[in-house]
Homo-oligomer: A and B are copies of this chain.
Amino acid sequence: MTDSGQAAARTLRVGMVGHGFMGAAHSHAWRNAHRFFELPATPQLTAVAGRDAQRVAEAAERQGWLSTETDWRRLVERDDIDLIDICTPGDTHREIALAALEAGKHVLCEKPLANTVAEAEEMADAARRASERGQIAMCGFTYRRVPAVSLARRFVDEGRLGEIRHVRAQYLQDWLSDANAPLTWRLDKSRAGSGSLGDIGAHIIDMAQWVAGSRIEGLSAVLRTFVTERPVGGEFVGLGGAGSADGPKGPVSVDDAAAFTARFAGGALGVFEATRFALGRKNSLRLEVNGSLGSVAFDFEDMNSLQYYDGADDAEAQGFRRIIVTEAVHPYTGNWWPSGHGLGYEHSFTHQVADLVRAIGAGAQPHPSFDDALQVQRVLAAVEASAADRAAWHEVQG
């Protein structure tokens, strides 16, 4: 923390940039983490920044922030802020993060870390330098902290899976399946960087590598845009919304779907698919890992369970176990409710805050670091490079 007083040492003063969907999820986590987890410092929702004064004031009121700024630069300059939490679109991450690190703040940055590898490299470099000054930087790949996903990683660490042969990961949504869903910033390459690839593909890339404990070293990819223009000016409802089929249209400049095969450093064969056109799949983030000794499978549509197959079970009694990941022995869940009481989407943000605050207290780097996130960015870049090169195999750089 930037302040060394003992009282202040027991408070972590947070400034958040952006207050949309991610801002709400982060706010909830900052407000509640210390209610369920023993933390070395209590987060204070010190200030939130947004460009529109009225909207940021409403968000502050709604989400419990003590003050507001209409310029993120002002937020970064404030002395009473220990940590900057970046919840804006990807095209702004680099500038904010660099300024915050320069200002001596800890940083939590939403994923993807940036829209390009060059930006991400600059950010990771800055984070590495800041680390030497005791600052912590972390990227918000929250699905790692869904208890069932954390348990999958623990099983890999424990050797329960043996040598990993297969990793298959899918992130299936359907909110663009309607060809008249409106054009939003998420479909604009200059804002979002990419489409399904960076938005949801990044999640499964990070999650798969983390659970498998191994990085993707090469891949062959295709990108696809099914609907090339969409209504503009339509009201945005949730992630989807309803546009007008008759009004003016604008170009979709990102991918609707991405798919690639990959090779992990450990030798595993990966198959990845991310799409917003899988009609009926609302948020189906799936991961299956098959090893020589065991397998795990996860689907976010049943997020409180993990499928696990133990090849050492008696032959007559082998089968995938549906582990209800709500027990005191499971990651994170003992801090919440008694056995069998499931968690929801936003809990992984609370876990992220808990781990981050503890890491700050301990002066240790939490995962995922900016370097981890940079590597994901490199995988995204390799996907785009391969897709632009007739799907030919591309090594992941770095």
Contact = CB atoms under 8 A, between A and B. Distances in A.
A263 B277 CA distance: 15
A322 B319 contact: yes
B279 A327 contact: no
A279 B302 CA distance: 21
B303 A342 contact: yes
Interface stretch (A78-86, A94-102, A170-178): A170-178
Interface stretch (A209-217, A367-375, A388-396): A388-396
Interface stretch (A8-16, A106-114, A305-313): A305-313
A337 B25 contact: yes
A188 interface: no
B340 A343 contact: no
Given A35-B28, A317-B323, A283 B341 contact: yes
A49 interface: no
A154 B316 contact: yes
B32 A269 contact: no
A165 B35 contact: no
Q: Which 8 A-B pairs have the closest CB atoms?
A: A283-B340, A282-B340, A280-B309, A344-B344, A220-B391, A319-B321, A319-B323, A341-B345
* Count of identical protomers in the assembly: 4
Nearest to A326: B282
A21 interface: yes
Contacts of A291: 279
Contacts of A63: 35
Interface stretch (A119-127, A131-139, A233-241, A243-251): A233-241
A309 B279 contact: yes
A31 interface: yes
Interface residues of A, number: 100
A311 to B, nearest CB: 6
Nearest to A284: B340
A261 interface: yes
Contacts of A336: 344-346
29 contacts: A28-B35, A35-B62, A160-B317, A165-B277, A174-B290, A175-B339, A238-B338, A278-B288, A278-B295, A279-B291, A280-B290, A280-B294, A280-B311, A281-B340, A282-B340, A283-B324, A301-B304, A302-B302, A303-B342, A308-B317, A316-B327, A317-B321, A319-B323, A322-B322, A342-B344, A343-B345, A390-B392, A391-B392, A392-B393
Interface string A333-374: 000111111111111000000000000000000000000000
A319 B317 CA distance: 13
A207 to B, nearest CB: 16
A290 B278 contact: yes
A19 B63 CA distance: 25
A271 B269 contact: no
A21 B319 contact: no
A127 to B, nearest CB: 29
A334 to B, nearest CB: 8
Nearest to A239: B338
Contacts of A155: 317
A315 B237 CA distance: 14
A230 interface: no
B344 A343 contact: yes
A254 interface: no
Contacts of A175: 339
Nearest to A165: B277
A339 B295 contact: no
A163 B277 CA distance: 11
B322 A320 contact: yes
A205 interface: no
Contacts of A28: 32, 35
